A and B are shown apart, each in its own frame.
Chain A
Amino acid sequence: MIAILDYRAGNLASVKNAFDALGAQTVVTSDPIVARAAKKIVLPGVGHFAATATLEDLGLTEGIRDAIRGGVPFLGICVGMQWLFEGSDEAPGVAGLGALAGSCRRFPQNALKCPHVGWNSLEVREASRLFRGVTEPSPFAYFTHSFYADATPATTATTEYGVRFSAAVETDNIFGVQFHPEKSGSVGLQVLRNFVELPC
């Protein structure tokens, strides 16, 4: 069972719908006990980084930490990926999980529009478990965000929008994507399928 964590930050229907289409068993939950028992954990995210403070309020942060320590595959989407870092300028008082070094920043004010909304190409860096079977040299994914994480040693795909940033990260059993795989057509479904098929 894959737990899709509901931290009252918008809409989880699309994420659940995509896993359903892949035939994966999911449960949408805010309950730390359910999260701890899950084989895999997905942390979706739309909206504001401050909403991740709710994870702490719900008692989910410790559960996630323990699950990750125990080897449970974890996928953070959009703000869910940003939360893997130490924090974000979007909500300076709110700590991220800190599994990855660095903090998220706002796109620079320049000629480019902000938020970054739409389909952008990915440069997949190397043998990535999430991108297995994605054959296009520069696959497209759907983004909608104003804050980004710099490329790190854990970065497996980057995207360029004024700056080159982390589009996907992966280290041990921790995965994150800045784009919305549930809204990125066949490329996104392949990414989710790879997550579903990870051994656990």
Chain B
Amino acid sequence: MLTRRIIACLDVDGGRVVKGTRFVDLRDAGDCAELAARHQADGIDEIVLLDISATRANRGTLLESVRRTARELFIPFMVGGGIRRWEDAAAALDAGADKISINSAAVQRPELLTELASRFGSQAVVVAIDAMSGNGTAEVAIAGGTTRTGKDVLTWALEAESRGAGEILLTSMAQDGTRDGFDCELTKRVSTAVSIPVIASGGAGKAEDFVAVFNEGAADAALAASIFHSGEITPRALKQHLRAAGTAMRWPC
């Protein structure tokens, strides 16, 4: 049986993992390669590395981080942040990423998704959508959540799928870093409308949040950062909880 995935996210700046609340107020959480290897040993299903500095000047540092992290990983590994051209994607894949996530650049030029999918395959192309919710609607934000676009999240998700994205990484900006739980309503709306997998992100705080996002949110995968980095819950303990709640998990892991 296909299982739901638990994904650990490493927000990386200069090779160090940082974690903030609502995309600001950053704290150091350790070395990216060491943390990724630890999460793998603790039973995580997948690792995401997001370059939050995402500046041209830091590109070399980022690729070195990707290379070091990939060397130790034998589970799927996604890399995102600042990928604007197919050359950026190729460099990340060459450095050992299995998938790349595209956010702002895809919104600004949706053809990029098609170009990347035809070159690397849809399985390697993840569209990352930062959603700003309010009044029953959700709007796509870009540039690390600083710029509103006026695009509807659901409309954009469907367009991204039709343009060749193989998965959607859906982050609720309102929930991100709060530990108040995922936005199940938004996740369900997107996940039931598209036919590609949706990774829910933003708001993971406790095991029940994951149960909810799988059951009520219809998420195919759920992503968290700080709760894993701090060690307060291991992926394995989380999966045990989810299995007891009736969610299919990779086990043993």
Contacts and interface: CB of A to CB of B under 8 A. Distances in A.
Nearest to A14: B98
> Which of B74, B95, B119 gathers most chain A CB within 10 Å?
B74
A115 B250 contact: no
Contacts of A116: 2
Contacts of B197: 113, 115, 117-118
Interface in A167-183: 180, 182-183
A186 B95 CA distance: 22
A9 B118 CA distance: 10
Contacts of A121: 1, 3
Interface stretch (A54-62, A98-106, A137-145): A137-145
A185 B123 contact: no
A21 B45 CA distance: 19
B2 A144 contact: no
A47 B96 contact: no
Given A46-B120, A189-B74, A118 B94 contact: no
Contact of A46 (B74, B95, B124, B250): B124
Interface of A: 9-11, 13-14, 17-18, 21, 46-48, 113-121, 136, 140, 142, 144-145, 160-161, 180, 182-186, 188-189
A120 B70 contact: no
B60 interface: no
A33 B98 CA distance: 29
Given A117-B123, A118-B197, A142-B75, A11 B94 contact: yes
B93 A118 contact: no
B9 to A, nearest CB: 17
Contacts of B251: 140
Interface in B1-21: 1-5
B3 to A, nearest CB: 5
Interface string B67-101: 00011001111000000000000000111111000
B74 A113 contact: no
A120 B1 contact: yes
Contacts of A114: 195-196
12 contacts: A11-B124, A13-B94, A14-B98, A17-B70, A18-B74, A114-B195, A117-B197, A117-B220, A120-B2, A144-B76, A184-B75, A189-B74
Contacts of A144: 76, 123, 166
A14 B196 contact: no
Nearest to B119: A10
A160 B93 CA distance: 29
A165 to B, nearest CB: 12
Contact of A161 (B2, B76, B98, B121): B2
Given A140-B250, A160-B1, A183-B98, A188 B74 contact: yes
